[in-house]
Amino acid sequence: AQKVTQAQTEISVVEKEDVTLDCVYETRDTTYYLFWYKQPPSGELVFLIRRNSFDEQNEISGRYSWNFQKSTSSFNFTITASQVVDSAVYFCALNNEKLTFGTGTRLTIIP
Amino acid sequence: ETGVTQTPRHLVMGMTNKKSLKCEQHLGHNAMYWYKQSAKKPLELMFVYNFKEQTENNSVPSRFSPECPNSSHLFLHLHTLQPEDSALYLCASSLPGLNSGNTIYFGEGSWLTVV
């Protein structure tokens, strides 16, 4: 069975602070894929990143970075110098034959 | 502009009404999905279509009836819904074969309120 845990239900930080969203997953498969999505108040789930289980290199895209650690089954997401536009619910997801979502972390950036 | 468009964005319907949600994808995908997102609940997969054929129905009540006339369009027909069916309904699409790691792309969702 697959499971994704996002233990942080809600996080609030002041603008320009860095923030890390945690994601821990469980799977018995050796090949799998991990995703992060952003859901702003409008409702759309916006795809941010996909990472396969064989690629443990960290990735940086502008102010966003992702830390994949297979040893701890974690795929954490860090926003550097946060901005108000980063306020949203962020979902981590695990994909093998089906996409399993975590329960999401609501991030609020305070101006 | 999103590659997956949903209409209407907002819908209020009575319990005896019949309405439909529409989804169209412009990404050349062959797999389409309906998800339900209720307040304080995880995203729930409802239906999966691959090449117009339904391949998954996650024990969804028959008052929800999906239709996939072609690989670009997906409908969700709604009939005699209950207030607890009020939720955000998200359509999504991908290349077929999720075990290949294909990314699922979502639409903006249809906010449904049943009164």
In order along its 115 residues, chain B shows pLDDT tens digits of 569 999 999 999 999 999 999 999 999 999 999 999 998 788 999 999 999 999 999 999 999 999 999 999 999 999 999 999 999 999 999 998 777 788 999 999 999 999 9
Which of B42, B98, B111 faces A101 most closely, judged by CB atoms? B42
A-proximal residues of B, 53-72, CB under 8 Å: none
Confidence label for A26 from pLDDT (cuts 50, 70 and 90)? very high
Average pLDDT over residues A9-27: 97
- Chain A residues in contact with B105 by the CB 8 A cut-off are 47
With CA atoms as reference, report the closest residue to B102 among A24, A72, A95: A95
Rounded CA Rg of chain A = 13
Q: CB B93: neighbour CB atoms within 10 A?
A: 27
- The DSSP code for B103 is P
Helix (H, G, I), strand (E, B) or coil at B85: helix
Check CB contact of B27 with chain A, cutoff 8 Å.
Answer: no
Average pLDDT over residues A11-21: 98
A44:B109 CB<8 A:
yes
Helix (H, G, I), strand (E, B) or coil at A63: coil
Supply A9's token pair.
């239900």
Chain A nearest-CA residue for B106: A45
pLDDT at B1: 55
pLDDT digits (tens, 9 = 90+) for A62-87: 999 999 999 999 999 999 999 999 99
Instruction: Show the CA angle centred on residue B74, arms to residues B68 and B77, nearest 5°.
Output: 90
Supply A91's token pair.
């979902």
B104:A99 CB<8 A:
yes
The secondary structure of chain B in percent helix, strand, coil, rounded to multiples of 5, reads 5, 55, 40
- Chain B residues in contact with A101 by the CB 8 A cut-off are 42-43
Q: d(Cα A105, Cα A89) in Å, to the nearest integer?
A: 5
Whether the CA torsion B6, A103, A4, B82 is positive or negative: it is negative
